[in-house]
Amino acid sequence: MITALEQYDPQIYELLRQEATRQSGSIRLIPSENYVSKAVMAATGSCLTNKYAEGYPGKRYYEGQQVTDLVESLARDRAKKIFKADHANVQPHSGAVANLAAYSALASPGETIMGLSLPHGGHLSHGWTVSYTSKIYNSVSYEVDTETGQFDFNKILELAKKHKPKIIISGASAYPRKIDFKKFGEIAKSVGAYHVSDIAHISGLVVAGLHQNPMPYADIVSTTTHKTLRGPRGGMLLCKEECAASVDKAVFPGLQGGPHMHTISALAVALKEADTPEFIAYAKQVIKNAKTLAESLMGYGFKLFTGGTDNHLILIDLRNKNISGKKLAKALDRAGIVGNYNTIPGDPAKPFNPNGYRIGTPAVTTRGMKQEQMKKIAEMINTVTENIDNEDVVAKVGREVLLLCSEFPVPEHFIIPNKH
Ligand code: DSN
């Protein structure tokens, strides 16, 4: 397939080769990114990209579904098994669409939803002002306690009593600690609200049994499939039987047309991989690596939001270093260490120029890196931070990054040959 691409479209071939080189030659610390297996990649690039399959297994609007029905049923069954859910919808094209579908399954336009505010670690689609979710619904945001970094459940309950939301959303995109989904479920129940839990970041940790599974406490659980779960890019909804029909209707025909069957086949593969002892070992290592990276960074005087991590993610508060998140992110990127600048709860700096830097360990763990390499990565982050305007030092760290990467190769399908 790669040969065909090279022959027909050398420009795109060359760009993909460059991206493969970037992905294998850099330390990728964006906590929502990963490397999929060769099997997942093969299914993603399969003939199923040619097939329309509007509808669901056994009830489609096109013929020729002999194979697609079996593929989607397999994906659904595997998802139900590992997330302990009554029902799974594997069609959402992304996490944001999955979230919107969950809301529209439970609430009518104009009703109130309540989610974690974006600068406090929530996701845009949790009702943040610039998201369409806040135009359709009346959106109220709750926050974390900026001193402790914990959720103040008394305040969340107070807010819920005041605004009487139809839906309370739990879950986060930039939160380094465990989330008590049971408590969110109790609050939702006490005010007569539905509970939607977005576990996009941590779903791989949930299936590995390393984080509380919100399934018993939420009406609908939403996730992306490509973060710690290590599947193809997409979204998924899991729910109790009583929500199954409304969830399915909300995804199709409510928000989407034809599902991406090639992605669904790749998701089925990833879900099979996630149901193995090897996956549990990977997920445990993700957390061990994050803890070591966090401790090593603190040893260099970095201040971390909440003082550490319980999961795959670390949020560095750079205010004591007098460097903006963007400046550090760009300098580290030049050295081949790739994270993202991020807001810090309680810091008034705007999301486009915040004082935080967000990193995580899923991708480096998939490459086989362990605690020893996390200490080295912390040292390299510190060296760049201390020499932020010295391009010679940044370039020297870049050479160390390449050396480290060469010792931990990524899955072989990333190596696209350069014949030019
Ligand atoms: N944009 C994703 C992240 O990087 O956290 C959330 O979906």
- The set of protein residues with a Cβ atom below 6 angstroms from ligand 1 is 32, 95, 123, 173, 200, 224
For residues 146-159, give the mean pLDDT.
Answer: 96
Q: Do 230 and 288 fall into the same domain?
A: no
Tell the residue nearest (CA) to atom 4 of ligand 1. Answer: 32
DSSP assigned state of 137: S
- Average pLDDT for the chain: 96
Residue 243 pLDDT greater than 80, yes or no = yes
Q: Which atom of ligand 1 is nearest to the CA of 32?
A: 4
Cβ 403 vs Cβ 380: under 8 Å? no
CATH number at 358 reads 3.90.1150.10
Tell me the best of 123, 130, 203 to mutate to test the pocket of ligand 1, counting ligand atoms within 8 Å of each CB and taking the most.
123
Q: Do 250 and 122 fall into the same domain?
A: yes
52 is catalytic: yes
For 297-349, write each residue's pLDDT tens digit.
999 999 999 999 999 999 999 999 999 999 999 999 999 999 999 999 999 99
DSSP assigned state of 384: H
Q: Do 290 and 246 fall into the same domain?
A: no
Question: Residue 8 domain-assigned?
Answer: no
Q: Do 112 and 225 fall into the same domain?
A: yes
Q: What's the CA-to-centroid distance between 69 and ligand 1, angstroms? A: 30
Question: Residue 374 domain-assigned?
Answer: yes
Q: What's the CA-to-centroid distance between 122 and ligand 1, angstroms? A: 10
Question: Residue 348 domain-assigned?
Answer: yes
Round to whole Å and give the CA distance between 383 and 399: 13
54 is catalytic: yes
Please tell me which residue, 414 or 368, carries the higher pLDDT value: 368
- Domain around 308: 18-36+277-407
Cβ 382 vs Cβ 316: under 8 Å? no
Q: Which atom of ligand 1 is nearest to the CA of 96?
A: 7
Q: Do 379 and 314 fall into the same domain?
A: yes
Q: Do 119 and 250 fall into the same domain?
A: yes
Q: Do 267 and 146 fall into the same domain?
A: yes
Tell the residue nearest (CA) to atom 6 of ligand 1. Answer: 173
Residue 412 pLDDT greater than 80, yes or no = no
For residues 81-91, give the mean pLDDT.
Answer: 98
Q: What's the CA-to-centroid distance between 47 and ligand 1, angstroms? A: 29
Q: Do 63 and 196 fall into the same domain?
A: yes
Q: Which atom of ligand 1 is nearest to the CA of 200?
A: 7
Among residues 14, 21, 33, 54, which one is catalytic? 54
Round to whole Å and give the CA distance between 94 and 72: 17
Q: Do 88 and 184 fall into the same domain?
A: yes
CA 317, 233, 282: angle at the middle one, nearest 5? 65
Among residues 17, 51, 166, 227, which one is catalytic? 227
pLDDT for the residue 24:
94
For residues 356-384, give the mean pLDDT.
Answer: 98
Question: Residue 2 domain-assigned?
Answer: no
For residues 251-280, give the mean pLDDT.
Answer: 98
Q: What's phi and psi for 345, nearest 5 deg?
A: -50, 130
Round to whole Å and give the CA distance between 318 and 308: 14
Q: What's the CA-to-centroid distance between 124 and ligand 1, angstroms? A: 9
For residues 235-250, give the mean pLDDT.
Answer: 98
For 99-129, write each residue's pLDDT tens digit.
999 999 999 999 999 999 999 999 999 999 9
233 is catalytic: yes
Q: How many domains does the chain have?
A: 2
Q: Which atom of ligand 1 is nearest to the CA of 174?
A: 5
Tokens of residue 386, six digits: 């201390």
Residue 164 pLDDT greater than 80, yes or no = yes
Q: What is the pTM of this model?
A: 0.96
Amino acid at 369: M
CATH number at 215 reads 3.40.640.10
Question: Residue 9 domain-assigned?
Answer: no
pLDDT confidence tier of residue 418, bands split at 50, 70 and 90:
low
Question: Among positive and negative, which fits the CA dihedral 377, 382, 383, 387?
Answer: positive
Question: Residue 354 domain-assigned?
Answer: yes
Which of 338, 359, 339, 341 is closest to 405 using CA atoms? 338
pLDDT confidence tier of residue 414, bands split at 50, 70 and 90:
low
Q: Do 144 and 163 fall into the same domain?
A: yes
Q: What's the CA-to-centroid distance between 211 and ligand 1, angstroms? A: 19
Question: Among positive and negative, which fits the CA dihedral 394, 35, 290, 222?
Answer: positive
198 is catalytic: yes
Residue 413 pLDDT greater than 80, yes or no = no
Q: Which atom of ligand 1 is nearest to the CA of 95?
A: 7
Which of 274, 308, 331 is the last residue in one of the domains?
A: 274
Which of 252, 274, 296 is the last residue in one of the domains?
A: 274
